[in-house]
Chains A and B, each alone.
Chain A
Amino acid sequence: MPTSEPRDLFPGALEMMILRLLQREPLHGYALVQRIQQASNDLLHVEEGSLYPALQRLLKARLVSAEWGVSSTNRRVRIYQLTRAGTKHLATEVSRFEQMLSGVSLVLALGGGDA
């Protein structure tokens, strides 16, 4: 799979972000990239192209659905929308992520013994 620096934090992170953004409103690919960059205060730099295989994975898993529409710049684009399964999947993923994050934080909070 084509990846370049900076890469995904971990497998599934991109998908999770896509699902979260789509939960708020249906979006097309370019808009999704914009939102990810805005929302992360440009901290996360997603290779824009990698969005599309991720969207295909989500389509295949029936977590999102797509329909052709017209973008604000008047281009024919595919607009993605969260499915019911997608909503459920996002909820479990988010809670698992939070658990993992708190676990990792606890470990990291042990502090450094570097002297």
Chain B
Amino acid sequence: MRTLLDLLRRRRSLDGLSDEIRAHLDEKVDALIASGMSRSDARRAARRAFGHVAQIEEAGRDVWRMPAFDDALADIAFAFRFLRRSPTFAAVAVLSLAIGIGANAAVFTVIDALLLRHLPVLDPSALVVLSKHDVDAGEPSTLAFHEYDELRSRTSSFAGMLAYSGGGGSLQPGATPVPGAGEPIHAGRVSSNFFDVLGVRMAVGRAFMPVNDVKADPERSVVLSYSYWQRRFGGDPSIVGKPVIVFRGMPFTVVGVATRGFTGIEPDQDTDAWWPIANVKRMAPERLAGWTVTVLARLKHGVDVSRARAEAKLVYARIAADEAAAHADWTDVRRRRFLAEQFTVGSGATGIADATRARFTQPLYVLMASVLGVLLIASANVGALLLARTTARRRELAVRLALGSGRPRIIRQLVTENVLLAAIATTAGLALVPFALRILLSYAPADVAGGLHTAPDVRTVMFIVGIAFASAVIIGVLPAFRSTMALEGELTAGGHAVGAPQHRARVYRVLIATQIALCMSLLVVAGLFVRTLHNLRGLDAGFDRKSLVVVTVNDGAVTVPVARQTLPALEAIPGVRSGTFYANLGLLGGGTSTSDCIVDGTSPRPSDDVSCVRMQVGPHFFETTSTRIVAGRPFAPGDEPPGASVAIVNETMARQYFGAESPLGKRISGAEVVGVARDTKYTSLRDPAQRMIYTPVGRGWVVADVRFALHTDRNVAGIGSVIRQAIADAGVTKKTTAIESIAEISDATLARERLLAEVATSFGLLALLLAGIGLYGTMSFAVARRNNEIALRLALGANRAMIIRQLMRESGTTVVLGAGAGLIGTFMLSRLLSRLLFGLEPSDPATIGAAVLLLAAAAAAAAYLPARRASGADPIAALRSE
């Protein structure tokens, strides 16, 4: 600050100096002329009396000299000139570093937003999540509200405990519901103490009154998020006190707006409005107890997590035991699985995003490692090139050292060049971050991409400064020390070292080998992910994955008559071959539901697992989804309950339940098996098919969302408006919330795999390109330095092929060592990788072989070109130039 101020004053003071001196001389000349001197004599006399103008100006400037600062300025100016003189080098260096830094910043931003950022609430580190995990699945399963209520009342380690259930909802202003007028929102159904436990204040109005949610009559109140309030209501404070419809057509009152910046406890979702979960009692009083909720609690002051965990585990064990005892109807398997669930208490500081985190945490870390690898390659690359250039400049530097420039001064200048390079690259890299972020987030579901808060915070800024600093060190500081040390050696040795000093050659080798190793790993990893994606895409899922369009109609309750009334209109659209509807079909929307299936007349042993996935499907289902019926018949009109009770099972179920026997005619839970369908992967593309039982939707069927699947080759863009029109024409007032092609749905399912395959491939190829440039560049310099030796050997009768072979063998050793190290590195990561792969092992020979070939080809090309150029030199000319 002081320096800056002095700079300004210096500028102001010195700026007028020349004018001032000129005015002085003019005045003096005038005076002398007035005293009778001739103009030319007067001018001479005035100059004599004044002294040497240039020297005096210089003396004036000397007054203000700030040595450290001025030297740095000179260094920077020199560095700029140096970069301008070699634009190709500067462009390659800046661009490769910028891509590296930009990609790192973007990936870290997403990691920070999804995994690291604390909730914007009071003392977030005192928050813990209470959850239980299925032993097999590993993914958390939610607690039931009654379990929350008991945990809350029977534990003493917590200052407060809240229940939360987030998901889609709708909101429409006013007190009378208008069908189809609700806007989709992300809603939070919360215990009434939600805002109190979090310590979140209201920007306007009040929070919910904390009451006993189980006993008290719940208030019909809504709290809006600040951003939704701004977006939807223009920040109008008079919205408080007004009615809105958020639940079952009942008017609720807006009582408050949460403080700015608080968008809920899910980092991957922006919640728009919250209302007390106890309102679900209005559907039926018993609905609340079984409602699944996420439980967050605040530790009492002075209570540590382990104590709280011990207490909560003990309490939960008792709750679970009571629950299991109360359910006499459970099978043993179900009972055992229920009791085996692991209850955990973990940190809640970063909020809840289980599904997104389960899906993307590992891929993000793999990506982080990849982009760090790319940055390291880029830095090593630029470092090697700079080192090579410094070597080429060693005469200049040696002369400057000899002329008395201190070694620190020269190091400082070399470091300035490199730091400048890093600074330019960091700036360019930061400019790339928004684009990189957009690419990354395009792989996430739209609501997640919009919900993540990617504005930079302290942590991302620290990270970016850190990597920029690290790359500056790699590209600059080490080479600078290395080269001046070598120079001093050269000077004392008489200034005429012919070969590269041994240790410097070693630095090159290490830099190149490191690049090759990282490049090898990145290529193998990219190849593994590409093949994984390919395997999953090409997998026979048992249903049509090409020509389906899925239409979701939502808002309130859709019933069978509504669906039946709509279906013919959709099937009548030209190009639609057939259509069906359903509510839940796993990957095709709505998730799955599992229950126990018991063959009538048998009593399974208590230890038998009789769970199966239940799918309720509309007419023409098997035909529309191209799911083959391998035995028996598909559903026909008249099969619907309650008039009839029939079912179709899949092959896995038929095999496991009936073995070689035909399942046709058998009854399962009262329904007669009329057909066997091919195994389909509606639940997960990765896992083997589960047991499945299909039943036709019955007359009493009511669902929140109904999905129509249409078999058509027309694309969504072409057919979308026709579909909406057809639905409207059919007299359906419900809202069409989504029209998606099976390709979009499938791509969304494979988002993680696409992310890994596409991003890892980009970085693998970038790494290959960078390593190639690095190898080519350093090889070129190395060869140029050995011109004399090569010329001598050519003159002595060696032929070009021999020279090329020898030069390539030297770099070949480095490449082989690097590639070997890279492969070992990949093997060490294989455990982390194997969970992300499908249909192949991390040691997949085809992938590794392809990567090795690709790398070998690139390395050979990068080394061959300079070697060939050198071997083509005219020996006489080369020797003469010495």
Q: Determine whether B317 belongs to the interface, using a CB cutoff of 8 Å to chain A.
A: no
Taking CB as reference atom, which chain A residue is nearest B46?
A: A48
Interface flag for A17 (CB, 8 Å): no
Chain A residues near B62 (CB, 8 Å)? 1, 53
Whether A73 lies near B16 (C-beta < 8 A) is: no
Contact B56 A52 (CB under 8 A): yes
Q: Is the CB of A56 within 8 A of B24?
A: no
Q: Is the interface of B mostly helix, strand, loop or mixed?
A: helix
Contact with A along B310-337 (1 / 0, CB 8 A): 0000000000000000000000000000
Given A47-B50, A60-B9: A52 and B27 within 8 A (CB)? no
B503 at the interface (CB under 8 A from A): no
B50 adjacent to A48 (CB under 8 Å): yes
Tell me whether B490 is interfacial, beta carbon within 8 Å. no
A77 to B50 Cα, complex, angstroms: 17
Determine if A60 and B64 form an interchain contact, defined as CB atoms under 8 angstroms apart: yes
B27 touches A71 (CB 8 A): yes
A: number of interface residues (CB 8 Å)? 25
Most chain B CB within 10 A, of A49, A66, A73, is at A49
Chain A residues numbered 1-44 whose CB sits less than 8 Å from any CB in chain B:
1-2, 4, 28-30, 33
What residues of B have a CB within 8 angstroms of the CB of A28 in the complex?
A: 20, 23
Q: Report if B40 contacts A (CB, 8 A).
A: no
Expressed in whole angstroms, the Cα–Cα distance for A28 and B24 within the complex equals: 9
Q: A50 → chain B, closest Cβ, in Å?
A: 7
Which B residues are CB-close (under 8 A) to A2? 51-52, 55-56, 59
With contacts A2-B51, A50-B56, A53-B62 taken as known, whether A59 is within 8 angstroms of B24 at the C-beta atoms is no
In this complex, what residue of B is CB-closest to A49? B51
Which residue from chain A places its CB closest to the CB of B16 in the assembled complex? Answer: A78
Question: Contact partner of A48 among B10, B28, B55, B59, CB < 8 A?
Answer: B28
B19 x A50 contact (CB < 8 A): no
Look across to chain B and name the residue whose beta carbon is closest to the beta carbon of A1: B59
B235 within 8 A of A: no
Which residues of the other chain, A, contact B825 by a CB distance below 8 angstroms?
A: none
Determine whether B17 belongs to the interface, using a CB cutoff of 8 Å to chain A. yes
Which residues B45-79 have CB closer than 8 A to chain A? 49-53, 55-57, 59-60, 62-64
What distance in Å separates the Cβ of A69 from its nearest Cβ neighbour in chain B? 11
The residues of B that contact A56 with a CB separation of less than 8 Å are 13-14, 17, 60, 63-64
B9 to chain A, nearest CB (A): 7
Q: Is the CB of B13 within 8 A of A59?
A: yes
CA distance A68 to B19 in the complex (A): 11
Contacts of A76 in B (CB 8 A): 19, 23
Given the complex, which residues of A lie within 8 Å of B56, measured CB to CB?
Answer: 2, 49-50, 52-53
List residues of chain A with CB within 8 A of the CB of B396.
none
Question: Of residues 70 to 102 in A, which have CB atoms within 8 Å of B's CB atoms?
Answer: 71, 73, 75-78
Do residues A77 and B20 form an inter-chain contact, with CB atoms below 8 A? yes
Chain B residues, CB < 8 A from A49? 21, 50-53, 55-56
Whether B64 lies near A75 (C-beta < 8 A) is no
With beta carbons under 8 angstroms apart, the residue of A30, A60, A68 that contacts B13 is A60
Once the chains bind, are A29 and B24 in contact (CB under 8 Å)? yes
* Docked CA distance A77–B21 (Å): 9
A47 to B17, CA, bound (A): 17
B26 touches A75 (CB 8 A): yes
A1 to B55 Cα, complex, angstroms: 8
CB distance from A21 to the nearest CB of B (A): 16
Q: Which residues of A contact B841 (CB under 8 A)?
A: none
Task: Answer whether residue B571 sits at the interface, using C-beta atoms and an 8 A cutoff.
Answer: no
Given A59-B13, A75-B27, decide whether A29 and B20 contact each other with a Cβ distance below 8 A. Answer: yes
By Cβ-Cβ distance, the 5 closest A-B pairs, closest first, are: A49-B51, A49-B56, A53-B59, A56-B63, A2-B55
Give the interface of A toward B (CB within 8 A): 1-2, 4, 28-30, 33, 47-50, 52-53, 56-57, 59-60, 66, 68, 71, 73, 75-78
